[in-house]
Amino acid sequence: MGTLRITANFVLIIVGLVLCLGGLLTMQLEFKPFLASESPVEWRVQEIAAGRIDYGLSTSSRELALADCRRATLSLEVRLQPSAIRSSVYSNCLALSDSFAAIQPTLSIAWLTGAIAAAQMRDWPAFNSRMLRSLRSAPNEQWVAEMRISLFEQYYDQLTDDLRAGNRADMLLLTDNDAGLLKLARIFVASPTSQDRIASVIATRPEVTREKFERRVRLVTEEAGH
C-alpha cells in the first residue's frame, strides 16, 4: 500500500511538472508577438523575411502577429531592401494571414492583412478576393472599415464592382460617429481623387452630419497648412 501511494504521488508530481512546463511554453508563445511589436521595424523585416513570425493560440496573439506583418509590409524599411527580401516579407505575411483566416474565417483583419500583402505583390485577383472576404466577414467593424477604406481608395482602379460598392458601404458606416468623419475628412484632404466619392456619400446624410464633416475638413486642412 505504501509503495502504491508513493508511486501515485510520483505520477502526480510528474503530471504537475508537465502541465507547468506546458503552461510556461504557451505563455512564452503568447507573449512573443507582444515583444515583437516593440522591436525595431528594421529587425522585424529581416525576421519576417526569414519566416520567423511567432504567435500563440489566442485571437489577440494572432492579431498582434498580423499587426507586426502590416507594420513591416507597409514600412519604408522594407522598400529599401533587396527584391528577394521584399518578396519574402510579402509572401510570408500573405501565407500567415491565409493560415489564420483558414482557422478563423470571421477574423476580418486576417483577410485584410493578406490583401495588403497581395497589393504589394501586385496580385490584384488575390487582393480583391481577400478584400471581399474582409468586407463580408466584418461589415460593421469600424476599425477594420477605416483600414479598408484607405486601401480601397489607394487601389480604387483595381477594385471590382462589388468592392466599389463595399467602399461606399464602409464610408457610410464611418459617417455614424465623429471618429469616422475625421477619418473621411483626412482622406478627403489628402486624396483629391477620393473627394467626389466621399462627397456623394456625405450628401446623403442628415444636415448635422454634413456640417460635422465640413468642420473636420476645415480642421484637417488647417493642420496640413493648406
* Residue 1 belongs to some domain of the structure: no
* DSSP letter string, 112-160: HHHHHHHHHTT-HHHHHHHHHHHHHH-TT-HHHHHHHHHHHHHTGGG--
Q: What per-residue confidence (pLDDT) applies to 24?
A: 45
226 and 151 in one domain?
Answer: yes
152 and 73 in one domain?
Answer: no
164 and 125 in one domain?
Answer: no
Cell digits of residue 5:
501511494
Cβ 124 vs Cβ 142: under 8 Å = no
Q: What per-residue confidence (pLDDT) applies to 225?
A: 79
**CA geometry: angle at 36 spanning 30 and 39, to 5°?**
155
Q: What per-residue confidence (pLDDT) applies to 116?
A: 98
The one-letter amino acid code at 19 reads: L
110 and 71 in one domain?
Answer: yes
Q: What per-residue confidence (pLDDT) applies to 23?
A: 45
* Residue 45 belongs to some domain of the structure: yes
Average pLDDT across each block of 10 residues of the chain; the chain has 226 residues. List them in order.
Answer: 55 50 47 58 93 86 94 95 96 97 96 98 98 97 96 96 97 96 97 97 97 97 84
Q: DSSP letter for 81, please.
A: S
Domain that holds residue 41: 23-138
Which residues make Cβ contacts (< 8 Å) with residue 208, sequence separation at least 6?
A: none
